[in-house]
Structure 1
Amino acid sequence: MTVFSMADSMISVVADLSSQMAPETRFERLLEALLKAFPGDAAALLRLKDSVLLPLAIRGLSDDTAGRAFVVEEHPRFAHILMSREPVRFPADSALPDPYDGLIDAVEEPLHIHDCLGVALYIDELPWGVLTLDALAPGAFDGIDPLELRAFVRLTEASIRVSELIHSLQKRFNREHEVAQVLIADLGRTDIIGDSPSIKAMLRELDVVAASDLSVMITGETGVGKELVARHLHAASARADAPLVYVNCAALPENLVESELFGHTRGAFSGAAGARTGKFELAQGGTLFLDEIGEMPLAMQPKLLRALQSGEVQRVGSDQFHQVDVRIIAATNRDLAQEVAQGRFRADLYHRLSVYPIQVPPLRERGRDILRLAGHFLELNRRRLGLHALRLDNSAREALLCYDWPGNVRELEHLLSRAVLRLKADSGAGGRVLSLTADLLDLPQERAIEAAPSNTDDNFTFVTETRTLREATDSFQRDLVIDCLAKCGCNRAAAARELGLDPGNFNRLLKRLQIDVAEVKSGA
């Protein structure tokens, strides 16, 4: 490590301190500078929240690491780092399990990390999180200058302080100018996992409408996470300290819908042994989430509309009205406009509910968010089953990215839960790192692709082509890489950046897929 490269990295971090950028961008550049200044194969910046470390930025670790949550008491290395105000280095033969085992990116085999270094970060004398640096080669950190490392740590803390100051000033600006409050993600971490363009676009829409009292209609396929979006909206609103009350309209018997929503008095009907408060009153000052609103009985819709228009509810069996102040969020997987056209849903109620529509994108349109979500669900299953470490091997990642996900996020969650159970059963007591492979996922094979029939002769027999999942994956990757190369003028480095790959990994991918760049350039 030369003095020049160290100084160069430090200068880049200092320059970033005076630049305005998103927190996630700032932290990614910070890790990039760290890996240039010090030897290592992977680095991570994790935020401490309620005894859990959440990755805010990662370099050299697999994509699914970003979706994980590391409980400190389950990871003794993290606990040691947090208890020390000095950098902590773990020897190659340390008996303490490494939380990153099996998560080094671009390494197919679950190789163990041999050199591990971590430092606790403090802001205003309070523990904020940790910065980690890992290497596969033993003794990689022998030549690190402690003074240089401490200097870099201080710059890291300064960068975090700048990011939080910008965050604080932005919130104050919004408050003082009485504009719609924007829920700025806490340094990039929100309940909604993902950073695909479709998710980012949806989050921008949520930020726009969150602080208002407009009714929101959340639409999307089954399993995309509409309830999670509703919770996000409520948490970002001025009503966050008041209740969020959930009503599943599809689960309510038709004769009990009115009582459930508006409440009833004692003796109002057979079985009403006592008075009951309705969901509208329970949500007073907060948010009422009407899930599966498309299942609301047609006879009940006028009463719901009146409550929304007047803000008054009347308990079943009572002559008195109760004034309520609630914000309505509704959700459905139906095409309510079509339901209105066919007379199965009232047009006036539809327009009252869908003042601000939000479309939740299906999982198949979210790209590599699938791997982040997979990491989140793997971590939940690891903790639930008491396993040391879980990782996705390359075949599993490719299978997850190529599958169509008709059941969306819910299907992904259930599929991974089943796969982890199978993996645990197959591995017995298990080793330090368990690798989840494509065959354990048990994804349906790709459907046969039928050739388009001719419109001139009905006597031909058209064949069907059936491909294995691996063949389909390779075909998809080959087409994607060739298109990217063509777009980048066959510049390998530019194509690698466009695809988010390391140049070395990109060249190996070209070799595996048997792509000749010269042929692509010539238009063959």
Structure 2
Amino acid sequence: MNFDSCSAVLNLTLALNATASIDAKLAGFLKSLNEFIPFDSAAVLMKNKGNLNVLASMGLKAEARVKKYPIAENPRFKMIIKSANPIVFPPDSTLADPFDHLLEITDFDSQGQVHSCLGCPLTVHNEVIGCLSLDALKPGVFNDLSHEFLKVIGALVGTTLRNALIIQQMERDNHRAMEWAREIHKLQEKRSLIGDSVPMQKLRQEIKLVARSPFPVLVLGETGTGKEIVAKSIHQQSSRYAEPWITVNCAALPENLAESELFGHLRGAFTGADNHRPGKFELAHQGTIFLDEIGDLSLNLQAKTLRLLQEGEIQRVGADETLKVDVRVIAATHRNLEAMVKSGEFRQDLYHRLHVFPIRIAPLRERLDDLELLAANFVAETARNLGLKDVKIDPELIDLWKTENWPGNVRELQNRVRATIIAMGLNTSDTMLTAHLNSENAPTNSSPTTPKIDLQQGYSNLIESFRAKIIAEALRQTEGSNSKAADLIGMDRGNFSRLRQRLLD
């Protein structure tokens, strides 16, 4: 390969790598190639199910650019695709040129009929994936070109084309996966934000509105109203939904490690800091961080959080330099931050930074129209976890619960449903109302065999105990037969056997 050929390859390589778009790559390549080879038209064609499709062209009419060229019906293309080497067709070749009379530039003598034709297979790992076709109205234009040079060009374009198409497919797959993720997030949001009351409709509208913005959000609500669910819904409906979601409970941060947890530390920054460690803000880069109970954050950490919001910078413990991070902050609290500002417990500047668009979640007592839907959802969830069927909630129990104040809000309702279903014991013929009254130690005409529940054991322990009772009772009624007992309670036999072994054996 002579010096001119080396220079040409260099320029063509630069043209193929100048932009990300496959169309722009190939257009730049053909323009650069025309500086070395005086063709009148050129086309890069890609194999696709027995056809050759034009991906990029120069000097061809529009009708030539949109046509599909069946390989079997175009003998020149067929020869090029089957060949391992470039082919220069002689001017007197009897094989029809597919681009005859389709060139944009014609002269009086030729009337658009091609007199010089060069075909170069595009190869990747010895596989032909398409071809480069060059045409000229003047005879003999391509006769002196080095076949070695043309083979290098074919391999270069072929590899670039294959890589670009792989990237395009990956982008399409990624886009499809992100769309699926968005749909899943929508379904999760519908399941988590339960209720059709006026306060819930207003809440959904506010979430949709604020999710589109890049600004901080302050979620206000009493304990148990579902502040984290609202914050997660904002994240899922935002442009950052596919990026990290990091949750921090500020009230649970150990005082001596709080700064390290949030901002990270360098090795040796303090006793026990054996390695570099990124903080929560750094882990949330390009995503969202949820600062739950931000009212419990110390004044020192409030100042550092303010710097993040103002400058987009954090500083690890023990570091001199700062790090740039791109984080959307959603904060929540059940406390009165305005009163805390007045008392000096919360920074006024941080409060105003967070208070761009506050979202208030109504307590359960203000949305009692949703209580029945919420309770039904918790009944189904708890029954599913316990392997129970046909557990229904009594309308009378809903009416009774609507008279209560619910200081613990939705979380209290969820725990009450769990406790009530557990209180039903094995006697699933009891109603939830009966179980509720028994668990409250109220007078009732229900069966005296309904067990009393020691709620101090905790939910997890009660669930395990209840499962063991179900397994034992099913085995008693089926005289110890694993298969019959599993069928009786509608459980997979393998799962039943494993559960029996873990809980009873």
Instruction: Output the TM-score relative to the length of structure 2.
Output: 0.49
The one of the two structures with greater contact order (alpha-carbon pairs below 8 A, sep at least 6) is 1
